[in-house]
Structure 1
């Protein structure tokens, strides 16, 4: 098991790599990020299968989609954006110079392990940061394998040694020690509430997110058949392990019967009152979610609850009456189980959605299927979330995979959700900008910064982390300014060897 001392060495190596990488120019950064994205994309299918095999969660085909979206998809989304070069605003007489965070400690979950590794590594590399991946222990093998693949691709493309590292044997104690270490510049935490709270209380800057509990409202103006297909597809996507998956379906009574028929046609199984009771008892036996159901398919969950459904059942829908805290089906479920209730009109439906978010998921996301802009606006104003997906499945809607939101595996919940960010995590969250600000008076001229760029492409071979001469087969000490082939360094080594030999000879004579 990795010791805290060894973890300290990892952070020290990352700090050195971050300092070296911070001098790279935009062209070099783009080449490195492209190589890493291509490497991840090429292995998307292998890692999807490994993640499902190791964690027992999700669907391989859907994880392939997420891995592809979080590799080349991320690169394509930010293509043309520059997080490296200075920005000159002559009208305001301000020059902005990007300053990377430094060392990013990336906590990754068991539900979306590889896609989150891909996502956080690419965001760090696009912004010239080093990244240390701390995987969830239940997904450590696939996460570590993926991180090492990306690390090798980065170094092969010219990145400094140690720019991407991973903890092979993660533990709570080790992760806590690294979160509190002064060499960690920012923590990016994706996981349960406990993990995020620990990150915020570590003493280091942290970007963490709150849990989801997504209400989806279908009003009387909606295309009901399309809404049903989208909801079932979204709820079945990767067996609902994305925190953006729908949790409670609210149907306006005027279209509720038609919606039920269309949901059944799309592959959902609507339980009767007794079936809902059995499912509730199995999933929330002690008042908390039975984690065995997380990421499992609908027919497996039904069987465990003593229910009979066809093997092709994609989603279980459990009706209930009131959206109250005591109703466990109104809580987050992270599985293809959807609670369902009805409302007499749009106003009551919006109130029900508000109640769902009060139970859990404040600041996170919500979905609505409607053709009425007024209802959509009222829904967004009154439901305390920071992203509302319209006429799209929320799993891939609020995560930016099927909308023009930033594609992300980390969903900020803002102030209402006790999060430091209120948007989908993006590259600009991992840099600050140092601003050169001239006197605003019209008679004070601003200097000409055209073409000035303090960064340079890396010169020579890939910078190697300095090592003791007896480390790893006698590799020499290497610094960013002294390569192994430096004749001055070779002469110094020869002189030191001669001094040591002479001293040993004198000792033998005595």
Structure 2
């Protein structure tokens, strides 16, 4: 009889072998976390740098592999995304200390960082290895362990990448089991993993059903919703510059990033200028007959034809029944209305951009609101213009948490063409039914224990100058004032993180009881 991975009802039966392998991965990750949580910051950053270097070195290999395995995207663009998810990601968080306790005498408070623990990370077929790189480094920087459940279409490249990064981490001193991947993912197995009591948090990137399943699992989850970014181009801006940014963004990796522009909105008075600029930058403006063919092929019965995801504009045009010049980078479909009655105004994950024109800026803002009410709430939007008041009004009116200004939205909202945090998890916040509204980073995998002293000035806090932090090795030097003082390191424990053998034996027995509880 198949064994259940968790106690909740209804139970999902999964094959014994798959269940056993998954259970062993969780156990390895659990023990890795216990060891890794006692590493000092210098050791953590050494491991993070080693992982980033291994990721960087294999960026081209996995870009080619991902395109070959999934049939989606552009190799050179996937290589760039892989590279941006390596050293630049570590560089961005270099100044964020998620390891050392902080002492704040003014507030009479000590803050101790606590890693999330075992992280279950879902990765999509659209950005498989770059997402794996990114989530691995988030886990390492937060002293957590990560187990990946890749999309079945990208399982081979993800498994190989996870093995490579794990080897680099272990070579740099990390405990074994820090980075693992499910070799043969299936829906029942993933659902069972998500409900495991030994998984502390789920990082859910993928389709809406899987994200909803993560939230319904009973475990804490950080999920992200779909994108459908409206982009407004104001008449007062450089039309060629705006067109170039939009075409560059929409064609990047054949538009598989959820941050790409979905519907272009401009004013009637500016249509001819913007159309010339878009054509000059490689866009094909569809005529009425081509729009009808494109709509019919791309949204049969109103639902996205997934065969289009990550494919080139030239290929999509051919499938839809019309021809474009080989240099075409994106297809632009002029539409009369947006909303539920116009499927082209939905998220497409392909280099196809709907285009609507209106009479006033106020109507453009209202149209952007309508697009986001249909899909993409909480995600992203883009604004091209020189008037700060219009930018403020546009951003204030829309239910999104990122508005990219005068930059390509695909890269800008993901933090690669702006100073937003670099991320492959775009939090959609309350508007998008997500728990986080910002770009997800390692800080979201750390909670803090706070020792808070009596606020009465007559009650002393005590001197923490010689108090030691529970590290097994040398800690990073304390930061300069005015940042809080960093505690000094503790000497290495004599045995097993300070536990005596009896305590360790009891802990193992307790773990075994938890693992066997509810099995059948």
**Structure-1 separation of matches of 2:311 and 2:226:** 19
**1:161, 1:91 → 2: CA distance?**
41
Q: 1:357 aligns with which of 360, 368, 372?
A: 372
The reply to whether residue 288 of structure 1 matches residue 303 of structure 2 is yes
Q: Partner residue of 2:207?
A: 192
- Structure 2 residue 110 is the aligned partner of structure 1 residue 90: no
Deviations 1:277-316 (A, max 9, x none): 0000000112100000000000000000011101110000
The equivalent residue for 2:417 is 402
Q: Is the 8 A contact 1:246 1:395 kept in 2?
A: yes
C-alpha distance after superposition, 1:345-396 (max 9, x if no partner)? 1111101111110110000000010101111111011111000000001000
| Correspondence for 2:457 among 442, 460, 479 | 442
1:239 aligns with 2:239: no
- Deviation track 1:231-254 (CA, whole Å, cap 9, x = no partner) reads 000000000000000000001122
SS in 2 for 1:368: strand
Q: Secondary structure at the match of 1:221?
A: coil
Q: Deviation at 1:79?
A: 1.2
**Correspondence list, 1:5-404, <5 A:** 5-404=20-419
TM superposition shift of 1:87: 1.1
| Cα contact 1:39–1:150 (8 A) shared by 2 | yes
Q: Distance in 1 between matches of 2:470 and 2:134?
A: 25
Shift of the 388–396 alpha-carbon distance from structure 1 to 2, 3 Å rule, reads: same
What SS does the aligned partner of 2:379 have? Answer: coil
Deviates further, 50-59 or 441-450:
441-450
CA displacement at 1:451 relative to structure 2: 5.7
Distance 2:368 2:309 in 1: 23
Tell me: CA distance 1:25–1:308, structure 2 relative to 1, closer, same or farther (3 Å): same
Give the RMSD, CA atoms, in angstroms: 1.6
Rg comparison, structure with higher value: 1
Aligned 8 A contact 1:27 1:457 in 2? no
Does structure 2 retain, via aligned residues, the 8 Å contact 1:224–1:255?
Answer: no
CA distance in 2, matches of 1:122, 1:173: 27
Q: Distance in 2 between matches of 1:395 and 1:87?
A: 37
* Inter-partner Cα distance in structure 1 for 2:360 and 2:272: 14
Q: 1:110 touches 1:136 (CA, 8 Å); kept in 2?
A: yes
For the residue of structure 2 that corresponds to 1:371, the secondary structure is coil
Cα deviation, residue 108, structure 1: 0.5
Give the match's secondary structure for 1:416. Answer: helix
Q: How many residues align?
A: 465
Residues in 1 aligned to 2:101 and 2:414: alpha-carbon distance in whole angstroms: 30
TM-score, normalised relative to structure 1:
0.89
The reply on whether 1:413 has 2:396 as its aligned counterpart is: no
CA distance in 1, matches of 2:262, 2:400: 14
How far has the Cα of 1:5 moved from its partner? 2.2
- Structure 2 match to 1:494: none
Q: Is the 8 A contact 1:28 1:457 kept in 2?
A: no
